[in-house]
Structure 1
Amino acid sequence: MTFSSNERFDSASDVPAEERPVNERKALSVSAALNIAKSIISENAFHIVGEVSELNQKPGYKAVYFTIKDENSALPCLMWMNRYKSAGVPLRLGARVEVVGKFTIFTPKGRMNFDVSSLKLAGEGDLRAQVAKRALMLKNEGLMDPARKRSVVAYPATIGLVTSPRGAAVHDVLRTLRRRYPLVKILFAGVPVEGKQAAADLISGLETVIRAGAEEVLLVRGGGSLEDIMPFNDEALARFIAQSPVPIITGIGHEPDTSIADMVADVRASTPTAAAEAVSPSRFELLEALDSFGARMSQVFLHRIERSINYVNAFENRPLFRDAHYLYANDLQWLDHTQARLEGALGRFGEADKVKLEGVGLRLTSALPHMITSQLQSLD
């Protein structure tokens, strides 16, 4: 700490001012006194825990202003917006937080604040340790093995959605699906996404939409603190996701942490909107796919028509189609040959019969007088 010479020494004496009685020291200006106090109190960093009792966070502000308290005292705090966003811990009234920073004085108003450099929820370290231990156990069992995970359905007819009925997540997903893939049927299960019973409610919601016929399911929620997303670190929920008969896609908007549900899910997206995009082909992609399919079908049909034309032309060039007699010429020749054979046979049979008849006639002629004479004699 440095003082100017006219503040440390009296002009008539070489005795330092701070060693003389207060009433004999030279008076400081308000600004000088506050600057001295500011330089003294800002030298050391402090680690403080307390409950958020006031919160002022407005659009356009460069900092977040809040107050933490315990049973006896309250401390006004500020945290610059870039630090606050990096911390990833949304403040809310009643939350117990741990802050690290330095005291500072806003000299124009003479107000003391605690300038927060880092922020986390109180007890968050224990929660992280629990989550890490559980995640390692499930990983060793193979629940996070990429080979186990399934791909999303290319063109699903029915998609399940499990999230809170209130909040931005459900609206973000529905808006995205209607814009990109309006033909899909959505089965919605509205359940609590935080609290002690939330994990059981999430499992129940998943069971409901799967039983109703969902081909794949979106499990989503908006941002929140580590404590808020603890239901998504539940062991029973993780095992249900791993054993689900249909793909489950998570979109849990909490960065930089990744929940166990994210690790086990078939597909993990960073936000509910990104999850909806992951399961829905866009309208433009569908049109492109249809155009491509139509072009391929046209090529197939044209190829088949061309083959049919070539096939007909090949038959047309055969002798059978150039001269119809070619079809039955052999049969006609066979008929002519058969007719000639029949006529020859009939001719031969006729000559033989004529000779026989003439012989019979001669015999009758010679025998007739004798037969008449015999008959006359018998009459006498």
Structure 2
Amino acid sequence: MVSGAAAPVTSNPPARVRYLIRGLTSEETREQSLDVLCKNRLAYDNLAVLLWNSFGTMSVLLKIITSAYRPLLSDGLTERAVTQVCNAIALFQCVASHPNTRIPFIRATMPVYLYPFLNTMSNERRNECLRITSLGVIGSLAKVEDPEVIEYLLSTQIFPSCLRCMEVGKTLSRTVSTFIIYRILQSEKGLKYCFVLAERYLSVSQCLGKLVENLSEDDAENLPQLLKNIIGCYLRLSENERTRPQLSSYVPWKLLDRKYANIVRSDPKALADLRQLVCNLRTTKSCTTHCTDEPPASSDSPGTLACNSVLSLTAALSNVGKNTVKPPKALNPRTKIKLWTASDLGIRSLQRHGEQLLHRVVR
């Protein structure tokens, strides 16, 4: 039997890790081996390589993950099952994060087996655990500047899945899913993907807007990072001069409130991004001059000066309207329905595909 109280993995990494990995192949030792490997996954750098290259190991992890599909459909997941699945997904993240296994991991299309957990509409605690753990795998892929990774994520329709998580998930899920969208938009291919269809672009803008309107200050730990990701997404979208006037109609006035400026004040980059976003949403040349000028000398802290600079610019956006979400005049009236349903993003087709995948696996 594999003992959970055994010596740490670092005491003799190769032998100990191989022993635990072999334990995954036996049903008697699988659960305990999985738990120990998950808890010690950061203690050994080459764990991902061993997991990927060990015979049958990834198949075992995949079997554990797909075993949750049937209970997921019937809302019959137990705490024990959720723990095992989350541990298996955590080892997936280990493989996705390692430079030697990342590309083989996506070429084997392993991440798509996590998408059913991203597309659930329930925010019950067990579903949320599966959602956030799965988002961790996608986030590990997205944070790496690799064109092949971005191409893969776009080809597997990660956009609608992340938008859904932004709508139904808790603050942590919203933070990670917004980070994934932000990282994709940082690439030229990802930005182009967003602008190919007007409905797609506006759907992302509206989803970000609703996210801002529903911000909760209860989760003080994750709120600053969530705000930073939202500001980063808006800033990237605002770099397109052709669609900038439409974007200004979808940026909630709430985002430019003093309260949220104070929250991101401790992060110089987030505050600089907020200043630049305000500048981009203005079309006059005076804005650029204002934003690039050095602040006057003052006894206040640099963060306070920058924050006040942002707040002084918000008055220029008064023509946008407060807390309004209006479709641009040039849009077809039917577009509004598409934007709110996000059917153009393929959510419905992806949902049908996911349901077919679930039934095919569990049949």
Classify the TM-score, shorter chain.
under 0.3
How does the TM-score come out when normalised to structure 2? 0.21
Higher relative contact order (CA 8 A, sep 6+): 2
| TM-score of the aligned structures, taking structure 1 as reference length | 0.21
